[in-house]
Amino acid sequence: MHEDPFTILAISGSLRPTSSNSKILQVIGKRMPDYIQYFIYNAIDKIPPFNDSEEVPDTVISWRKSIAAADVVLICSPEYAFGIPGALKNALDWTVSSGEFTGKPVALITASSMGEIAHAALQHTLVAISANMIPGAVHLIPFIRAKMNVQGEITEPAAARTVNNTIEAILAFLQDSKK
């Protein structure tokens, strides 16, 4: 039985706080029940380029500890130049040999103009680092900017259902983990 509040670590693949992906994470955070501690990780731009050095920078140690402490990791990312945004891919690469994602429950929303290629690439990367993709919590929302208003609210019904389905899948997964 899980006695403490659950912790969700949310990560935006965009470095802009006003990006569609960052706004989606903010909306999701507002919809979380009180028993969820929800944190948006805002420092992937501080993680240095990945290398195999035995000396691990403090920012990477902090990044890894944030992942390890989370019950669920939620990634919301755009597609840049038909790929995973560089800062997000770099941050994920720092976990390849350290294992923080091994068995870690992960939800993924790719929200972009198109997004299919980055969505597939992110799923492959998450499989490579042995993440546990939460059933019903892996979604692609194409043409996101046309589906949101300036306040970050999702105005298109199907996209709003996708976000709601992601939240429901995460909460159901966490409730099942209590048993």
Structural domain includes residue 51 = no
Q: For position 1, what pLDDT does the model report?
A: 41
Structural domain includes residue 55 = no
Number of domains in the chain: 1
Instruction: Kindly report, residue by residue over 140-159, the tens digit of the pLDDT.
Output: 999 999 999 988 889 999 99
Structural domain includes residue 98 = yes
Instruction: Kindly report, residue by residue over 58-88, the tens digit of the pLDDT.
Output: 999 999 999 999 999 999 999 999 999 999 9
Give me the mean pLDDT over the 158-174 stretch.
97
Structural domain includes residue 36 = yes
Structural domain includes residue 154 = yes
d(CA 62, CA 56): 10
Structural domain includes residue 118 = yes
pLDDT band at 37 (very low <50, low <70, confident <90, very high): very high
pLDDT band at 54 (very low <50, low <70, confident <90, very high): confident
Instruction: Kindly report, residue by residue over 8-32, the tens digit of the pLDDT.
Output: 999 999 999 889 999 999 999 999 9
Range of the domain at 169: 6-46+60-178
DSSP readout, 75-97? EEE--BTTB--HHHHHHHHTTTT
Nearest Cα neighbor of 114 from 138, 164, 78, 89 is 78
4, pLDDT greater than 80:
no
Structural domain includes residue 172 = yes
Residue listed under structure tokens 């923080």:
100
2, pLDDT greater than 60:
no
53, pLDDT greater than 90:
no
- Give 50's DSSP letter: P
CATH number at residue 168: 3.40.50.360
pLDDT band at 3 (very low <50, low <70, confident <90, very high): low
- Give the mean pLDDT of the chain: 94
Structural domain includes residue 119 = yes
